[in-house]
Amino acid sequence: MTDKNELLASTGDSSVESEYFSPLPKGYQKGKTKYVVVMGTVMSGLGKGIFSSCLGKLMQDKGLKVAPIKLEGYLNIDSGTLNPFRHGEVFVLDDGMECDMDLGTYERMLGQNLSKNNFATSGQIYRDILEKERHGDYLGRDVQMIPHVTGEVKLRLRTLAMKSNADIVFVEIGGTVGDLENAFYIEAMRELAYEEGPNSCCFVALTYILEPRTLGEQKSKAAQLGIKQLMQSGIQPDIIACRATSPVNEKVRQKISVYSNVPISRVVSLADSASIYQIPAMLRECGMDFEVLKLLHIEDRIDLRKERGEWAKWCDFTDRIGKEKRETTIGIIGKYTSVRDSYASIINALEHSGIALGCKVKIAWIDTSDITDKNVSEYLKDVNGIIVPGGFGVRGAEGKIACIKYARLNNIPFLGICFGFQMAVVEYARNICGLKKANSTEIEPNCGEPVINILPEQKRIEGLGGNMRLGGQDIQIKPDTAAFKLFGNNTTARMRFRHRYEVDPGYIETIEKAGLIFSGKAPNYPIMQILELPEHPYFIATQAHPCLTSRPLHPHPMFTGLVAAAMKSS
């Protein structure tokens, strides 16, 4: 919560005599930072985060400093307790904030490490307002949706602008314009544009053009109605991005232009693409970057020389997409495989590594619910490598253990992530160390050999999620190991964590004596973070989530190592 002493009333007195209440961070200058606000119509899931991050990348390449923020309508304080089946993966930032998967899109596209300042939910907004009310910060006023809730939203955006020193803040509002929970966000954006002055805000409406198979033509009525709803909220869109399965034809773009008062040059077609990393080029080709610069009157801030260099690097990456000369298949062994967004960062990390190695990575989705030692060979017969990713709970755990055992015995390249790391320890303890009752206390609370356990210091932390190891942590890497080579012969690395259970220190010596190497650990603590088998072609697991820090131009070495090993067995 921002200290009340750091706030100033922006448009008047905050006392009971004034109707104005719009707090500003101390030193904030209206109009200095520009805002691009991206909203969706027709339906959610159209790729607002992808559009916003791609446009942000074009601005960043021009030498402008950009800062994204995602505004979510749900009342959860963060995304940590959301089921992947309902909301896709939980993306963890370096500072430990559990947030929406769109933050991962921003980090990958912009090459930035974001923080809690880049993510807000309705729950956070209401919590901060109620805390201020209890502290007496509102000077006796009755606290209302307008101006206090909308004022808190604007304060979030302006605080981010100050902390990041951004030229442009990209604001993405989750869901769609018609969602009831988004009404105060949209009103806050209208107020923001009014208060910041002309040429301060650019509003983008991302919509969807229907193309029913039975009709054989594109239909824009749903898009028109969604845009009309936005205009009824007091916001005139400056740009309309039309998502569709195929390029949006001129007739449809003209119709939307007429009904929305948006020049047709700013009604852009965004058809489905083979890779999201090709979308910046699509926006660049239709001139969206310079349309935004003109709308915000910041053409004089750009650095064209920098843009040429940055764009050349990006094109070198995207030119390799679809031109891979090799092919390999990686099995993702999980229990959320029916919802691909549950593993969005893993999919991206595999794509980054595949492009870097000139190899097309195919993914085989393998649900572990029914896998046993007897049928595992049938499930894994067509894969060249496997990933056992993170997850919580009992379902599918034994199937994962069976897959790890099969990969270990049959020299199939294996990468374990978080829960996959823990199950690799359980499998090794059972089948090599002779600890037949080995298990995790998450799966079997009273198991005979709790090789994976909640450590005593964790148990003292109360509250769901309170005892989790969250966010970026340094890892101490043992020299002359596979991990040491993967990380460029460095003895330290930084990765992000999201877990509650650890290797019980009482079993570390037994497991290592049997041949498993713990090649990465927490500095100064007996917390094991990377394991490997030295005689195996590629058998590595980590308690961290390396996929969260993989970037298009800088693939994560653990994924590159897996794909390279899988290519050898293809």
Distance CA 263, CA 240 (A): 9
Please enumerate in sequence order all residues whose Cβ is within 8 A of that of 64, keeping only pairs 6 or more positions apart, or say none: 167, 168, 298, 301, 302
Closest by CA to 104, choosing from 82, 77, 79, is 79
Which residue stretches of 1-149 are H helix? 48-61, 84-87, 102-110, 122-134
My answer on whether 336 and 484 are in the same domain is yes
User: Residue 521: inside a domain, yes or no?
Assistant: yes
My answer on whether 296 and 359 are in the same domain is no
My answer on whether 215 and 185 are in the same domain is yes
The strand pairing partners of 171, in sequence order, are 37, 69
Distance CA 67, CA 163 (A): 10
Amino acid in position 47? G
Tell me if 99 sits within 8 A of 113, measured CB to CB: no
* Residue pLDDT, tens place only, 425-477: 999 999 999 999 999 999 999 999 999 998 665 555 444 444 678 999 999 99
Q: Which residue has the tokens 């007429």?
A: 258
Tell me if 229 sits within 8 A of 41, measured CB to CB: yes
Q: The domain that contains 227 carries what CATH number?
A: 3.40.50.300
My answer on whether 292 and 333 are in the same domain is no
Question: What's 37's DSSP letter?
Answer: E
Please enumerate in sequence order all residues whose Cβ is within 8 A of that of 399, keeping only pairs 6 or more positions apart, or say none: 333, 367, 368, 369, 370, 371, 372, 376
Distance CA 191, CA 151 (A): 9
My answer on whether 275 and 304 are in the same domain is yes
Distance CA 266, CA 241 (A): 8
My answer on whether 11 and 41 are in the same domain is yes
**pLDDT number for residue 9:** 41
* The total number of structural domains that make up the chain: 2
Phi, psi (rounded to 5 degrees) for 266: -110, 15
User: Residue 321: inside a domain, yes or no?
Assistant: no
Q: Read off the tokens for 279.
A: 């979308």
Tell me if 54 sits within 8 A of 170, measured CB to CB: no
My answer on whether 379 and 494 are in the same domain is yes
My answer on whether 32 and 68 are in the same domain is yes
Low-confidence ranges of the chain (pLDDT < 70): 1-20, 85, 338, 455-467
Single residue among 298, 316, 334 that ends a domain in this structure: 316
Please enumerate in sequence order all residues whose Cβ is within 8 A of that of 198, keeping only pairs 6 or more positions apart, or say none: none
Which domain, by its residues, includes 251? 4-316
Q: The domain that contains 529 carries what CATH number?
A: 3.40.50.880
Helix%, strand%, coil% for the chain, nearest 5? 40, 20, 40
Q: Burial of 492 by CB count in 10 Å (0-12 exposed, 13-18 middle, 19+ buried)?
A: exposed
Query: What 3-state DSSP class applies to 273?
Result: coil
User: Residue 33: inside a domain, yes or no?
Assistant: yes
Single residue among 259, 293, 316 that ends a domain in this structure: 316
The strand pairing partners of 558, in sequence order, are none
Tell me if 156 sits within 8 A of 68, measured CB to CB: no
HSE-CB of 249 using CA atoms within 13 angstroms? 9
- pTM, whole model, 2 decimals? 0.92
My answer on whether 466 and 383 are in the same domain is yes
Amino acid in position 322? G
My answer on whether 358 and 307 are in the same domain is no
My answer on whether 287 and 383 are in the same domain is no
Tell me if 545 sits within 8 A of 344, measured CB to CB: no
Single residue among 290, 316, 342 that ends a domain in this structure: 316
Please enumerate in sequence order all residues whose Cβ is within 8 A of that of 183, keeping only pairs 6 or more positions apart, or say none: 233
Please enumerate in sequence order all residues whose Cβ is within 8 A of that of 357, keeping only pairs 6 or more positions apart, or say none: 326, 560, 563, 564, 567
My answer on whether 332 and 295 are in the same domain is no
**pLDDT number for residue 335:** 79
